[in-house]
Amino acid sequence: MQLPLTDTSLSLRNITLQDEDLLCAIYGSTREKEMEMVKEWNSEQKEFFLRQQFTAQHVYYQQNYIGAFFWMIEKDGQAIGRLYVDENFVDGSIRIIDITILPSYQNKGIGQGIVKDILGYASNKPKPVTIHVESFNPAMKLYERLGFSLKDKKNGMYYLMEWKVEEEKEVAA
């Protein structure tokens, strides 16, 4: 999959074994607020927990999304996030497995731009795009604005969102 990015200051590169610590830090950034609430753990305990959770997630993704693309998102050559995409997901969709932007780069349109680039790519196939989103994730509103709709709820916590080419054309009209 060659995903052209509209923002020319951004690039994607395949993750490597040398990226593991950085990927763990990116993962940990998604759980900062949660870790702040765990007052009884010291920083080493929190780091150990986050490393365990990252490793479990990372291994799961690698084993269950065979053939997917696992990319570092770079801005002007500096890693700022991760993007995992399966272009040939089992239901015929393009699955955004994960997109995470470091907090200092959030709310600057980077994630939105990348998702729009994925939708543009998908519209040329044409294929739907799916993503699981935690029900409390603020990015849910972004996905809805971009034309994703709720396809399924899992355990009330994870929502499967889907974008279809027809919906995108109706939004653009």
Q: Residue 41 domain-assigned?
A: yes
Q: How many domains does the chain have?
A: 1
Q: Residue 85 domain-assigned?
A: yes
Q: Residue 64 domain-assigned?
A: yes
Alpha-carbon distance of 93 to 65, in angstroms, equals 13
DSSP track, the chain: -----SSTTEEEEE--GGGHHHHHHHHHHTTHHHHHT-TTS-HHHHHHHHHHHHHHHHHHHHHHSTT-EEEEEEETTEEEEEEEEETT-TTSSEEEEEEEE-GGGTTSSHHHHHHHHHHHHHHTTT--EEEEEETT-THHHHHHHTT-EEEEEETTTEEEEEE-HHHHHHHH-
Q: Residue 2 domain-assigned?
A: no
Nearest Cα residue to 149 out of 136, 170, 130, 134: 130
Q: Residue 5 domain-assigned?
A: no
Q: Residue 1 domain-assigned?
A: no
Structure tokens at 136: 């409390």
Q: What is the pLDDT along the chain (173 residues), one digit of tens a residue?
A: 899 999 999 999 999 999 999 999 999 999 998 899 999 999 999 999 999 999 999 999 999 999 999 999 999 999 999 999 999 998 889 999 999 999 999 999 999 999 999 999 999 999 999 999 988 888 889 999 999 999 888 767 889 999 998 744 444 44
Which CATH number do you get for residue 55? Answer: 3.40.630.30
Q: Residue 75 domain-assigned?
A: yes
**What is the domain range of residue 77?**
10-172
Task: Look up residue 42 and give its amino acid.
Answer: N
Q: Residue 59 domain-assigned?
A: yes
Alpha-carbon distance of 145 to 78, in angstroms, equals 29
Nearest Cα residue to 122 out of 161, 156, 80, 164: 164
